[in-house]
Amino acid sequence: MKLTHVLTSIVTTAALVVLTAPTASAATGYARCPDGRMCVFSDRDGTGVMATFVVGDWDLRDGVGPQGMNNNIESIWNRTSYSWDFWDYANGGGDWTVMGPNAKGNFINGWANTVTSLHMY
């Protein structure tokens, strides 16, 4: 149990360092992702352009919501407590995959740079 407490303390301290960084732009990679959001990234390992979602986006091609992410997502971090669906086509069409709460990582080959819609359920 003591070891568990030590590890928890280390994680908490690290989180505080991020939160007290001088500017938000100092955060890089996955650390940019706010709690309670689905974060998607244009490159692997949380790098590149980041877009965040509260409930999702039925069409990443249109002018509503984040721009430039259609067929351009290579990694994600689900910081919500819900599962999310990701689809190849707009409006929940085509092949789909599910990312559970706290899922974090790179899309495998075949899913990288294919997502056109995503939604929490």
> In terms of CB distance, is 8 or 113 closer to Ca ion?
113
Task: Give the Cα separation of 117 and 62 in Å (integer).
Answer: 11
Distances (CA, A) of 121 to 10, 49, 55: 33, 25, 8
Among 72, 78, 116, 117, binds Ca ion (CB under 5 A): 116
Q: Where are the alpha helices (DSSP H) in the chain?
A: 2-19
Q: Should residue 64 be labelled a site residue for Ca ion when binding is judged by CB under 5 A?
A: yes
Residue reference for tokens 């490159």: 43
Question: How many Cβ atoms from other residues are within 10 Å of residue 66's Cβ?
Answer: 14
Q: Should residue 62 be labelled a site residue for Ca ion when binding is judged by CB under 5 A?
A: yes
Give yes or no for a contact between 92 and 119, defined as CB atoms under 8 angstroms apart.
Answer: yes
Q: What is the nearest approach in angstroms of Ca ion to the Cβ of residue 41? A: 16
Q: What is the nearest approach in angstroms of Ca ion to the Cβ of residue 58? A: 7
Q: Should residue 45 be labelled a site residue for Ca ion when binding is judged by CB under 5 A?
A: no
Q: What tokens were used for 112?
A: 């990288």
Among 42, 43, 48, 88, binds Ca ion (CB under 5 A): 88
> In terms of CB distance, is 102 or 113 closer to Ca ion?
113
Of 17-25, 56-64, 73-81, 101-109, the segment contacting Ca ion by CB under 5 A is 56-64
Q: Should residue 65 be labelled a site residue for Ca ion when binding is judged by CB under 5 A?
A: yes
